[in-house]
Amino acid sequence: MVNEKICQPLKLDNTQVEKVSSAFNDFFTEMDKLVDKSTNPPTRPEKSKVDALAKIRDEKVKQAIPEALFTKYLELEKTTRPKPCEDMKE
């Protein structure tokens, strides 16, 4: 997903793709640790913790890609987020 939604549109080289993919893999691994799977359905992690992980991920990506592409990356990253459930809307 990261490759199709972020790396390909940004036309990243193989080294950049590897670094961006690694940043996202680290992010998703840590996110998985934050989800409380003991409840049914599993509870979402606190927004502040998710935001902190996203900031770390984005800093890793920022180091891996040209500065001129970072704004476009931020736009593309939004397309990777899960859509909110209708039940969750307030």
Predicted TM-score of the model (pTM)? 0.84
Q: In what helix (H) or strand (E) does residue 89 lie, and over which residues does it extend? A: none
pLDDT tens digits for 33-90? 998 888 888 888 899 999 999 999 999 999 999 999 999 999 999 888 877 765 544 4
Classify residue 60 by burial, with Cβ atoms within 10 Å: 0-12, 13-18, 19+: middle
**Closest-CA residue to 64 (of 4, 5, 24):** 24
pLDDT tens digits for 23-36? 999 999 999 999 88
